[in-house]
A and B are shown apart, each in its own frame.
Chain A
């Protein structure tokens, strides 16, 4: 009995290969999107963590001495109880590759800084006579893709282009034995230490503060997470819709099976088993596809992802089963949730209930009303969470809850709004054909609503994410241009060198812009106080958000200070407000944007800073140069003062690096956008294909009354386009609200700065065309089938009840 029944159920798929393909493809695509986003997310998180690890260590305080530090200084400081670790940095040429060289001490470097393979054991294997290793015997580590080529040990997790080795060996390789780039002070220091001054002419320089890439990338990570959530939602809608339709189509068969004596429970079990098998197949394909997508989108993480699918890559062992489980779990969960509704309906429906779509349509209309109600409630929750809760100090979680409520609410509201719009259209229509078309579309709506919801979510996500990303890019790049206005940046190793540098530079550049600073506390907030020397460059390019008139002149005269947006938000200060700095009651003259920096900043006239805070760090300068002179000056500077790499940075490189990071993320979001849209389009295709088979009884009378099949088919396509256009109109405000929430709520909550929102009408128009294209393509196949349908099929509608 079981065999015969199962064969009958499964035979459906043999006859309906397209539908089977649709279901599996839908499942696979949804799973793939989910897995892909997860994979990219995790990989992005890992690479950010890696970058952040480097930044963190680079950002640790250092101990410096005039003329640079050596291994001898390392020993002296250690003997005095100052736990430092030596670091050597430079560039080396190996074969035709130019690599960044990082020398570390495996015994004292924090684990976060070391490649995983570089353990204390490394040194124990490496004879270090008198504390010095030789480059020949010191193990080298590099990213797996270049390790073999340059004779290094493969260290997954190392950025490409970086070669890590033992610190003294690195110094030898760079031709400056014993000399270090820096001595980094470890976070944990012993309770008792010698006074630093007693050990030698050392000074403690606070953590280097650069544009904090870690924070910015974290912001993107957060937004990617939001995107993952959206992809998941879209995927779930697709799965739900497809399965529901597949059940609906088999209802007559199910009725026959039951009439012939197949017990309900067995039938349900068989259907559940069938669903599970389909989910596993679709999910399995999806996981593989998702991994592939991720590998395509992030080429340099491909190696670690390949580890997912068999190749052993150390460190990814724990990830692999999780990926599979999460992907299959998503597929199974989504399928079961979708199937549960259908199975429940099956159990509840009387055996002889009509197997016609009318009943379904009626239920759909009730659902639409219910959905509208739920949608309104959800939108209210969203408004509350996004608009009110942040003001009450409720944080990020509320922001995300608000996002979820906004999207689900809008999706739930969609069928109702569409049916209203269609009813309105039917009322306004004059000609009978138009009237029929409007009404018939309304009839079709319940069967399409899940697919349309998926489309709307995909469109909203597209609009939201691309608006957010676009705004981010425009703001950030603009800000970079402003903030990195000077052509070169120089950090001297100590104050004496700084003075010599300044004297040397003065005649050679258009302007030396000291960036002197000191850490302090202002009204309870930790801030960096900066001194600036008045220069036209500030007036031209500094990114002011709001300011009093003549802000730069007045600030230069010492009448007040400028603060960054983060501090302004934290202390609730606007231009004109008073501000208490240590030893100076002053006024805020202006507020400037400072993306990517978690800390408060205060800018004041340089002489003010020097008078008030004699201990300020005076080693930093920006240089304004005549165009085209930067490379030559840089070379001269480095050679004259024998500066280690990293001391002189040019803004072009910094900008390029920052841009590179973001462009990659933009690329990823763009590709994911396209895929999400494709999935939604596919959902429409499935829904329309299934509906077209069920809609013959509605079409046949119109045909009989004198409409051609081609005309009917064209109408079908038109109808799909119309629905997609209406859906786009609904998605537009939702997507913009999403972008607003990401920029103005989530970002402020997470990072303390608010990004201005820009609209990109051209992008929106392009998206509209894409949506139309997707809907049109989805409608074309069923329409073609209709146009080619034998007349006999239509006639049969009249031959009897189907």
Chain B
């Protein structure tokens, strides 16, 4: 792995990159340097993802401070009254600093608004007190917050999300139209042939309505949204350098989550989600994504048009041959960990919209 992995500038520039490079790993190195080596992979005192763990809700909406890293990750594809495309991103990252002291956490927030005029983004860093996640049960109410950015409510019914920077703001109501979906093997998502993994579930069935603002007045928008929740302590495999992560909502009401981890070999995983929420995890290789067009964005060469194919013998999984195209090429996130994240449009054997995240492009 590359030498520079420290927060805030890790070698793996991404949200999921925190798996590999965030605060946690830094600490691992420190502990090893202090003579705690030999505790095994990820054995730095943090909890490890367990294939036997059964996710339970609302319990697992809350933070898992025993794990090194965790995120609440919401993206929304929106349309204004003039029919123009917008996109919104709201992300909260948690990093545990000390396995012995669960209260020692650092938080980071990213917010972005892909507007017809341009891609606007903001970043926040915070200590406990400024940020955190609280969960009350009966009725379920999650509150994830960093500064004034908030994601509140119950992922299975209704939520509200708001954030903004000096030049933009959004405030959206979210209504669940389907069930939560467990990714991977009942929420145990494998990230490499070597067995690195995380706990991962999603709420891909969200209807969004609210307002966006860029400089001038507020504008009403409607659309769909997708929430990802993931936590782990394990770094990715040493050779993995970046990834391409797709969350697609097809016109049929079905959803497709798929990612390619680029390394010495490519590792892919995907989940086919039927319109009723039934999820089929797909093994390495069933999901394939190839770049079609490259473009230079903010000094980085990135594939902004993709061919995405799905091939699986099971009858409930359709064979798909899709073209996924970035709606706005400029969706660069100039953060402490820079990456590309923006809305996409799907065409080919099925139509749809979604979000794409690309990391590790020089």
Contacts and interface: CB of A to CB of B under 8 A. Distances in A.
So, do A and B actually touch in the complex, CB under 8 Å?
yes
A190 B122 contact: yes
Given A119-B8, A123-B127, A124-B95, A79 B148 contact: yes
Interface in A91-142: 105, 107-108, 119-121, 123-131
B23 interface: yes
B128 A108 contact: no
B325 interface: no
A191 B168 contact: yes
A71 interface: yes
B104 interface: yes
A191 B106 contact: no
Nearest to B148: A81
A78 B146 CA distance: 9
A191 B213 contact: yes
B101 interface: yes
Interface stretch (B56-64, B159-167, B238-246, B308-316): B159-167
A192 B169 contact: yes
B6 A79 contact: no
A108 B336 CA distance: 13
Nearest to A79: B148
Given A191-B164, A191-B213, A130 B126 contact: no
Given A121-B6, A129-B103, A189 B127 contact: no
A125 B126 CA distance: 14
B209 to A, nearest CB: 18
Interface in A117-173: 119-121, 123-131
B165 A190 contact: yes
Contacts of B165: 190-191
A198 interface: no
Interface string B1-44: 00000111100000000000001001000100000000000000
Which of under 10, 10 to 19, 20 to 34, or 35 or more describes the interface residues of B?
35 or more
A75 interface: yes
Contacts of A68: none
B97 A127 contact: yes
Given A190-B148, A191-B168, A128 B104 contact: yes
Nearest to B9: A121
Given A123-B127, A126-B97, A192-B213, A107 B166 contact: no
B194 interface: no
A78 B130 contact: yes
A722 interface: no
Given A121-B6, A126-B97, A190-B165, A107 B127 contact: yes
B129 interface: yes
A189 B167 CA distance: 9
A78 B148 contact: yes
A120 B7 contact: yes
Interface residues of A, number: 30
B98 interface: yes
A129 B101 contact: yes
Contacts of B106: 107, 123-124, 128
A120 B336 contact: yes
B6 A130 contact: no
Contact of A83 (B30, B129, B147, B213): B147
A191 B115 CA distance: 15
A578 interface: no
Contacts of B126: 78, 107-108
A121 B30 CA distance: 13
Given A120-B7, A120-B8, A128 B128 contact: yes
B147 A128 contact: no
Decide if the interface of chain A is mainly helix, strand, loop or mixed. loop
Contacts of B168: 191
Contact of B145 (A79, A127, A191): A79
A125 B129 contact: no
Interface in B89-111: 95, 97-98, 101, 103-104, 106
B125 interface: yes
Nearest to A129: B103
Nearest to A189: B166
Contact of B164 (A123, A130, A192): A192
Nearest to A168: B127
Contact of A191 (B23, B129, B169, B336): B169
A74 B129 CA distance: 9
A449 to B, nearest CB: 56
B213 A121 contact: no
Contacts of A74: 129-130
B166 A124 contact: no
Contacts of A580: none
A662 to B, nearest CB: 39
Contacts of B95: 124
Nearest to B171: A192
Contacts of A126: 97
A107 B9 CA distance: 14
B128 A129 contact: yes
A529 B169 CA distance: 36
B127 A131 contact: yes
Contacts of B162: 192
A441 B8 CA distance: 73
Contact of A190 (B23, B164, B215): B164
A114 to B, nearest CB: 13
Contacts of B104: 127-129
A194 interface: yes
Interface string A685-729: 000000000000000000000000000000000000000000000
A193 B23 CA distance: 30
Contacts of B130: 74-75, 78-79, 131
Nearest to A81: B148
Contacts of B98: 127
Nearest to B145: A79
A194 B162 CA distance: 13
A639 interface: no
Interface string A74-91: 110011110100000000
A801 interface: no
Interface in B138-168: 145, 147-148, 162, 164-168
B8 A121 contact: yes
A188 interface: yes
Given A128-B97, A129-B103, A192-B148, 18 more contacts: A78-B147, A79-B130, A80-B148, A81-B164, A107-B125, A107-B127, A119-B8, A120-B125, A121-B9, A121-B26, A127-B97, A127-B104, A130-B103, A131-B129, A190-B122, A191-B165, A191-B215, A192-B162
25 contacts: A75-B129, A78-B126, A79-B147, A80-B148, A81-B147, A105-B127, A120-B8, A120-B125, A121-B7, A121-B26, A124-B23, A127-B98, A127-B104, A128-B97, A128-B106, A129-B104, A130-B128, A131-B127, A131-B130, A190-B122, A190-B165, A191-B166, A192-B162, A192-B213, A194-B148
For the complex of A and B, 10 pairs with smallest distance between CB atoms = A81-B148, A131-B129, A127-B104, A107-B125, A129-B103, A124-B7, A127-B98, A78-B147, A192-B169, A191-B169
Interface of B: 6-9, 23, 26, 30, 95, 97-98, 101, 103-104, 106, 122, 125-130, 145, 147-148, 162, 164-169, 171, 213, 215, 336
